[in-house]
Amino acid sequence: MADALPDRMRAWTFDRRGEPDEVLALADVAVPRPGPGQLLVRVRAASVNFSDALIVRGTYQSTPPLPAIAGMEVSGELVGGDLDDLLPAGGTVAGLTAGLVGAFAPYAVLDRGSAFVPPAHYSPVEAACFPVAFQTAWFAVHVRGRVEAGDAVLVHAAAGGVGLAAVQLARALGARTVIGVVGDPVKREAALAAGCSAVLLRGSADLVGQVREAAGGAVDVVIDPVGGTAHALSERVVGFDGRIVLVGFASGQVPPVRADLAMVKNYAVVGLHWGLYRDRAPAVVREQYERLVAVVDAAAIHPVVSRLLPFDRAPAALAAVESGSSVGRVAVDVDGSAGA
């Protein structure tokens, strides 16, 4: 099968680190070949993650050798590599590219441990937007946050990719109320549609009081991909035996953690780096993925994809995510048919 593949392809590459709109360029490159324990995918759609821009800049925790192809998350058709009955030739797969680069191209290589069979009812675009955001949200809500029926949950950046997934999953797990915090009225509507009981605007007056009123008291679980001042709000509204789950620092500010408040109020502050589970506890990731898909299927949950851009506008898709203006997920139609 590998002999039938083309030798060359056009891909969005960067040969130096810098601003994505300055260093990304379409280039003619060799079609990659999978090594041991890897899969080759004919890409249909690629989703855009905030970390894609950090990798291009060289400010992410890991940096690929240059030149490299931008993008880390794809869906498509399996065409080569370590195929078997679970992941057969011609089957659909979604997941993270090897080295977290290579997605904005017609062909990409995935490490087998980072490849997942998406829910059967998903389109190629939804499949591409599922693995990172929904597994991150699942580990935040279920594994680290331990959301249970009857809980009050607060989700910061509730209209982002992880935020909307967290809202949907918390609802599916029986949370009695889910309160979202967003940056503008357009995002408010998206968070309400996803299942929030109340959506509050960041920076509005007496946000602490608004959260407590919406929760009917204190909050049991907080999901925070923002950091900065969002964490200070979380510390004030979380209740006895509550959990604040730190998912990221999209604000660019790493907040101080008040150990005195954690002790006096008897709440926990826990971190979540989903990629570390993937690297150090792959069996846990596989087990939890099956549980996640079962919940998604039962509740008929779909990723919220606000924008699908053609392949030649991949840098614009990245800019939309990085600006913070996008709602849910942004994706790239790599082969021209993913939007069909």
Q: Comparing C-alpha atoms, which of 17, 10, 40, 46 is closest to residue 321?
A: 46
Query: For residue 238, what are the CA distances in angstroms to 223, 242, 253?
Result: 11, 6, 20
Check residue 3 and give its pLDDT: 52
d(CA 67, CA 77): 25
Q: Dihedral sign for Cα 187, 254, 68, 88, please.
A: negative
How far is Cα of residue 322 from the mean position of the Cα atoms in its chain?
13
Check residue 73 and give its pLDDT: 97
d(CA 201, CA 187): 9
Helices 161-172 + 131-138 axis angle, to 10: 50
Mark the ranges of the chain whose per-residue pLDDT is less than 50: 1-2
Domains, the chain, ordered by start: 2-130+303-333 (3.90.180.10), 133-276 (3.40.50.720)
Check residue 322 and give its pLDDT: 84
How far is Cα of residue 231 from the mean position of the Cα atoms in its chain?
20
User: pLDDT tens digits, residue range 154-174?
Assistant: 999 999 999 999 999 999 999
